[in-house]
Structure formats: structure tokens, C-alpha cells
Chain A
Amino acid sequence: MRTLALAAAALGLALSALPAAAQETPPLPRVFWSFEGPFGTIDQAAAQRGYQVYKQVCSACHSMTQFHFRDLAGIGYTPEQIAAIAASVQVPGPPNAQGQSSPVPGKPADAFPSPFPTQAAAEAAFNGAVPPDQSLMANAFEGGPTYIYAILNGFRNPPPGITVPPGRYYNIYFPGNLIAMPPPLHDGAVTYADGTPATVPQMAHDVATFLYFVANPHADQRKRIGVHVVLFLVFVTGLTYALKRKVWSDVEH
């Protein structure tokens, strides 16, 4: 399938390689993802660890407005676990007669709450930059989850001669290299429930897996159905072709 994608890309004449070429960023690292290819599926244990990273680190700055607690079922959480997770988070409650709402414990049908009440509040906190919403982050960049992984691993000390203004950080994969996100991960930033050592590459890989799921909650189902659809169509094509041969057998052509 990757060859097919490659062929399609070559046919459209390498459209995808273009934007990156303008900035001086190195090519993205080669990362293996469990969900690659036509039969790949999302690694649920990794996605659950990634959820932990999201919850304890990223959610302090990034919103994820399209994602609901109930959607966690897609990476193997039980309804009881989901209810407990939702209840442990305060979400905006219904407005009272004065139009004010006070926080209430979440329910599975609630969306994840956002860290900043408004866009302006986020801008004020980061010198005008806004942490982008994470609902579709894994689809929003060339390279997808690999780009997220690269950014999280791409923080470096600036090379000599480059001054980094306050509120900016040097990241080799970010276009222009100066990103407003402080390095969010450091070794041991979370303590994994399953005991996996929480190194930066490990956490980056896990959270990118989780964000891939968040952006493509139906990906596994889609491919599973796709295999059946394609097999069925191949079968029907064979039948139709045989029929065509039969119909045309009496024609000189």
C-alpha cells in the first residue's frame, strides 16, 4: 500500500515534498507505527500510555475540542473506566439564570475541556502564539504523527550565532526553528501505569499514537471493512469479466 501511495505521489509529481524544501529542517526521522499499511492497527496499549501523556502534559496547553470521553472506548477503556475518567475532570456546567456556568464533574458524553477560555487568553500566555487544537493534529501536518514525534524530540541547544528570543525555543524540525512551545517532555515526566520506562522518545511515540487515534478514530474499522470491500469487488470483477468473455464470444472483434 505504501508503494501505491508512493506511485500516486509520484504521479502527482511530488507535491508532498514541496513545503518542507523551503525551510532548513532536516528530513523527518524514520519511525515505525503500528497503524501503518493496509493491515496495521492502532496499538491500544501505546495509545493508552499516550492518553496519559496527553492528560498529564499536553492538555495543560492544548485543547482537543472534537474528542469526547466516550471516544476512549476506541482504545480499550471500559465504560466504567471512562465514567471514572470523565468524573475526575471538571467541565463547564449548564448556565444558570444569570448566564453563568460553574464547573461540574464530566460525563462520558462530554467533550474534553479546553485549558484556555478563549483564543486571546492563549495568545496572551504565549507571546501571540496559540497551541493548536489537538483533535486533528495528526492529520494537519505533512508527515502526520511522525512530525509530532519529531517536534517532541527536536529540541536542541541553539547553534552558535543564533539568538533565541525569550518565549521561544530552538527546535530543529519546526519551520524557522523558533517554536513558542517550551520542551514539554523530559525523562520521567509521567509515571506509566504499565511500568514502561518514560523516556522522551517513548512518550513522544505514545502520545503521537494516541493523537493519531484521536484524529482518525475509525481508522482500524475503515481498513477492516476495506479488505472485505476490495475482496468482494475483485470477485465481482472476475464474474463480470467472465460474463463479458461469454457475451462477446460470438463476435469477431
Chain B
Amino acid sequence: MAELGLQENEFKNPVVHWIDARLPVFTAMHKEYRQFPTPKNFNYFWNFGALATVNLAIMIITGIFLAMNYNPSTAGAFDSVERIMRDVNWGWMIRYLHVVGASLFFVTVYVHIFRGLYYGSYKKPREMIWMLGVVLLLLLMATAFMGYVLPWGQMSFWGATVITNLFGAIPVVGHGIVTWLWGGFAVANPTLNRFFSLHYLLPFIIVGFLVLHIMALHTVGSNNPLGIDVKGPQDTLPFHPYYTVKDSVGVCVYLIVFAILVFFIPHQPLLMDPNNSIQANPLQTPSDIVPEWYFLPFYAILRSVPNKLGGVVLLFGSIFVLFFLPWLDTSPVRSCRFRPIMRWLWVLFVIDVFVLGYVGANRPVGIFILLGRIATVWYYIHMLIFLPLVGKLERPLPLPESISKSVLGGGALPSAAAARPMEKA
């Protein structure tokens, strides 16, 4: 049948059949999003990857419409954003979606990451998925940072000045790098131009890495709340309709949260700093330069070191260390459900990151200096000492025989039973 090298396929629709024989996209979709065998015991934390993907789509669509009316020049940027807010049809909604979307993007991604930490999703054979995820996080941070500069408000300008100056801490070449980043001797028009260009570019690079992330996932298969391997077809369900519909529930709830923020409290200071309603003024420093909430934990790490270079190293180190997590964690057990010590250390680690965020929001005086240092040290101890050591010392609970056995109550463990209401929901 395979005449002239045409791809065989079973699609009934003649057009689909014809296309698929020459470009097997329908076969690929069928395989990856319909049949894809997915563990049957996901809980709702497995929604957050899909939520982040929806969020990315919202950012790209709203961003393209913003860019149609945005003027990337220091003289015109602030006014053009105001024109979007006032005069462009639905401009206010497009911009609020983009602004709120930036914050919610980080919410979804952070939950997604902490989920991975708890259930050991970074361990063999998923190291590549995890490392591509860290790349996505770095790209997202760069995109959000440069986007925040575009409206050219006070926080845009001063945030950009503070963050780009960090590179000045690099010995010898630091100042050269900063000048190169700025395209001049201060954050000014050339800086804004290149940030706009890169802010438009990076989301599409993110799309590219997302494709790789999913390809890696579909090569080795998903992890699950038990962290044990899939033993056979009885442990899985086809992705469609089971998980398409479950992800849709998550997306709907998520859109409700999105809508409440966009339509009722878009000016909440965590979403939009009041200082960014004032046009950038290089001659007037705001009383507090505070980054967006999603950067606060890292900002706290930066400021907890009295030496600038040291702070910058620890700041970047706190993200780069994530690349090595698959090898730092020595435990053969993935899910913290069966790791009596690590599950509590995980809780403490989450608290630690919140403490860092709290410290980052406050001036580095008094108790906040000490708190910031303790929390920074704890962050690194968790990564560099607890993960390797506890993996060796801890006695994991017995693992269930298989996903389906555990689901049906066979070999059930107290912790697995306790977690069931969550999966049911």
C-alpha cells in the first residue's frame, strides 16, 4: 500500500488522509495527545504544566496586540501605553491580561517546580525534562524582566538600572558588559529598544524549548504521585479524553482567578507597582526600589551577602544549582510520600522560599538582615547537603507494588490513603 513512500494512516476523512500521508502531523497528534499512556493516578498538581502553557498562549496573543500600539522609545513609551489604556479599543483589557498574566505565569511555574521537587520528577529518567524546565524558567525570568522595563515607568527604569548593574560586579570585564548591555553609558533609549526586541523574541524561544520539554516528557513518560514506574497498561489511561477533560477543569478554575484579578483588582500593588504609574525620571530615585514579587526570593539572596560579587554569585547559583538536582538527590525513591524525612524538609524548603520572599520585600535592616542570611544558607544547605545526605540515611517507606494495585487499595499505605481525597476531587 505504501506507494511512492507515502505514509500509511487510518484516517477516514480523505483530506486528512491525504495530508497525513505526506505530512504525518495527524498521526503525531493522535499518538502524543490521544493515545499517550498517562498514569491514572494524577492529582490536580499535574494541571500546572497545562496552565503554564495556556498562560504562554495568552501572553503571546495579548503581547502581539500590545506591540501593535506600543512605541519603544524613551520619549514615547509611557504615553503609548497610556494610549493603549485609554483609547485603543479593549486596550485596557489587553494590557491588564498581559500584566496579570505575567504574575500568574510565575505562580503556575513555581507550583509546577515545587510539585516536581515533592514527587521527585527530576530523577532518572526525567533529568532532561527537568533541565529543559530550568532553561524555561531562566527564559521566563529574562522575558518578564525586560517586559517590565517597556512601559517606562519609575520602577521600569530603576529596576532595569539596579539589575543590569549587577553584571558590573563581575571582575575585570563587568563594566564593559554593563555598557554593552545598555548600548551606552546608562539605561536609555538604546536599552529600551533592545529590550523590546528581545522581549518580543524570547517568548518564541520559550515555545521552542517547551516543545523540547514535551518531547522529552513523551519519550520517557510522566511521573505520578506515587513516584513508581508504570508497570503496564492497567496503570495508565489514554491522555484523551481523561486528561484533556481534567486539564480543562483546571484551566476553567484558573481562568476564573485570572478574570477576578483582571477585572476587579488589576491595580493591586503586587500586580502593578504604583510607582510605575509615574513616568521614568533618571533624576529622581524612588524611595524603595522593589522588584516584582516573583523575583523577591532571589533579591533577598542577593542582598544577604555583604559583598556585591558574592551576592551575584549566590543569586545566579540559586537557580543554576537546580540543573544539578537530579544528581544531588541520591535517594532511589522519587515521591516524598515515601520519604519520611525529605517530605518535612520539603515543607521547610517551601517555607524558606516564602521567608526569602518576605525578606526581599523589606529593607535590609535589623532582623531582616539576619533572617535573610539564615534563609539563604538554608536554601543552599537543602540543595547541597540535605538532598545528597538524606537520600543516603533515610529509610523510605515500602513502595506499593504498582499504580493500579495502590489505586484499588492493594498494598495501600497510610500516606497514600491520606492523599486520596485530593486525587478524587
Interface residues of A, Cβ cutoff 8 Å to B: 1, 4-5, 8-9, 12-16, 18-19, 22, 38, 65-66, 71, 132-133, 135-136, 139-142, 144, 175, 215-218, 222-223, 225-227, 229-230, 233-234, 236-237, 240-241, 243-244, 247-248, 251-253
Cβ–Cβ < 8 Å partners of B79 in chain A: 65-66
| Complex contacts, B357 vs chain A, CB 8 Å | 12-13
B24 CB to nearest chain A CB (Å): 27
Closest to B87 in A: A68
Assess the B86–A217 pair: CB atoms within 8 A: yes
Contacts from B to A (Cβ < 8 Å)? 40-41, 79, 82, 85-86, 92-93, 96, 237, 241-242, 245-246, 248-249, 252-253, 255-256, 259-260, 262-270, 272, 274-275, 277-279, 287-288, 290, 293, 354, 357-358, 361-363, 404, 407-408, 423-424
**Chain B contacts of A225 at CB under 8 A?**
93, 263
CB within 8 A of B245: which of A234, A237, A247?
A: A247
Contact B260 A230 (CB under 8 A): yes
User: Whole-angstrom distance between the alpha carbons of A229 and B97 in the complex?
Assistant: 13
B269 & A253 in contact (Cβ 8 Å cutoff): no
**In whole angstroms, what is the CA distance A141 to B275 when docked?**
7
Q: Are A4 and B245 in contact (CB under 8 A)?
A: no
Most buried by B among A38, A132, A144, A229: A229
Cross-chain contact A241 with B249 (CB below 8 angstroms): yes
Q: Given contacts A15-B270, A18-B288, A233-B255, is CB(A136)–CB(B361) below 8 Å?
A: no
Question: Which residue from chain B places its CB closest to the CB of A23 in the assembled complex?
Answer: B287
With A5-B265, A222-B93 as contacts: A18 and B259 at CB distance below 8 Å? no
A186 to B: closest C-beta gap in Å: 28
Question: Which residues of B sit under 8 angstroms from A141, Cβ to Cβ?
Answer: 274
List 5 contacting pairs A-B, 8 Å CB cutoff, sorted by A: A16-B269, A66-B82, A215-B277, A226-B263, A241-B249
* Option from B82, B252, B293, B407 in Cβ contact (under 8 Å) with A252: B407
Chain B residues whose C-beta falls within 8 Å of the C-beta of A216 in the assembled complex = 267
Given A247-B242, A251-B242, does the pair A226, B259 have CB atoms closer than 8 Å? yes
B241 touches A140 (CB 8 A): no
Look across to chain B and name the residue whose beta carbon is closest to the beta carbon of A235: B252
Check if B264 sits within 8 Å of A14, measured CB to CB: no
CB contacts (< 8 Å) of B290 on chain A: these are 15, 18
If over half of A's interface residues share one DSSP class (helix, strand or loop), that class is named, otherwise mixed; here it is helix
Given A4-B260, A12-B270, A237-B253; 14 other pairs, CB 8 A cutoff: A8-B268, A18-B288, A18-B363, A65-B79, A66-B82, A142-B269, A218-B85, A230-B256, A230-B259, A233-B255, A237-B249, A247-B241, A247-B245, A251-B40
**B40 contacts which chain A residues (CB < 8 A)?**
251, 253
CA A247 – CA B259 in complex, angstroms? 27
Known contacts A13-B357, A222-B93, A253-B423; decide if A240 and B248 are in contact (CB<8 Å). yes
- Given the contacts A236-B252, A243-B245, A252-B408, A139 and B277 also touching, CB distance less than 8 Å: yes
Question: Which residues of chain A come closer than 8 Å to B237, judged between CB atoms?
Answer: 251
Contact flag A135-B82 (CB < 8 Å), given A18-B363, A229-B259: yes
Q: Determine the residue in chain A with the shortest Cβ distance to B237.
A: A251
Contact B277 A140 (CB under 8 A): yes
Q: Answer whether A233 and B270 are a contact pair too, CB < 8 Å, given A12-B361, A66-B86, A247-B242.
A: no
CB-CB under 8 A from B263, the residues of chain A are 222-223, 225-227, 229-230
Contact of A240 among B245, B265, B288 (CB under 8 A): B245
Top 9 closest A-B pairs, CB basis?
Answer: A226-B263, A237-B252, A13-B358, A140-B277, A139-B277, A136-B277, A12-B270, A15-B361, A16-B269
Per a CB cutoff under 8 Å, which of B262, B267, B287, B354 touches A22?
Answer: B287
Q: A140-B277, A244-B248, A251-B237 are in contact. Are A38 and B264 (CB under 8 A)?
A: yes
Q: Assess the A140–B278 pair: CB atoms within 8 A.
A: yes
A132 contacts B278, CB within 8 Å?
yes
Residues of chain B contacted by A175 (CB below 8 angstroms): 287
Check A244 against B86 for contact (C-beta < 8 Å). no
Complexed CA–CA distance, A14 and B272 (Å): 14
Contact A237 B256 (CB under 8 A): yes
Decide if B363 touches A12 in the complex (CB within 8 Å).
no
Residues of A within 8 Å of B92, CB to CB, are: 218, 222
What's the minimum C-beta distance from B65 to chain A, rounded to whole angstroms? 16
Name the residue of chain A whose CB is nearest to the CB of B358: A13
Given contacts A140-B275, A244-B246, A244-B249, contact A5 B423 (CB under 8 A): no
Q: Which of A5, A8, A142, A233 sits near B274, CB closer than 8 Å?
A: A142
Contact B264 A19 (CB under 8 A): no
Instruction: Return the chain A residue nearest B279 by Cβ.
Output: A133
A230–B245 CA distance with the chains assembled, in angstroms? 20
What are the residues of chain B within 8 A of A243 when measuring CB–CB?
245, 248
With A71-B86, A244-B246, A248-B242 known as contacts, the answer to whether A233 contacts B267 (CB < 8 A) is no
CB distance from A69 to the nearest CB of B (A): 13
Smallest Cβ-Cβ distance to A236: which chain B residue: B252
State in angstroms the CA–CA spacing of A226 and B269 once bound together: 20
Assembly CA distance A76 to B278 (angstroms): 28
Given contacts A15-B270, A22-B363, A175-B287, contact A240 B252 (CB under 8 A): yes
Interchain CA distance A141-B255 in the complex, whole Å: 29
Cβ-closest chain B residue relative to A238: B252
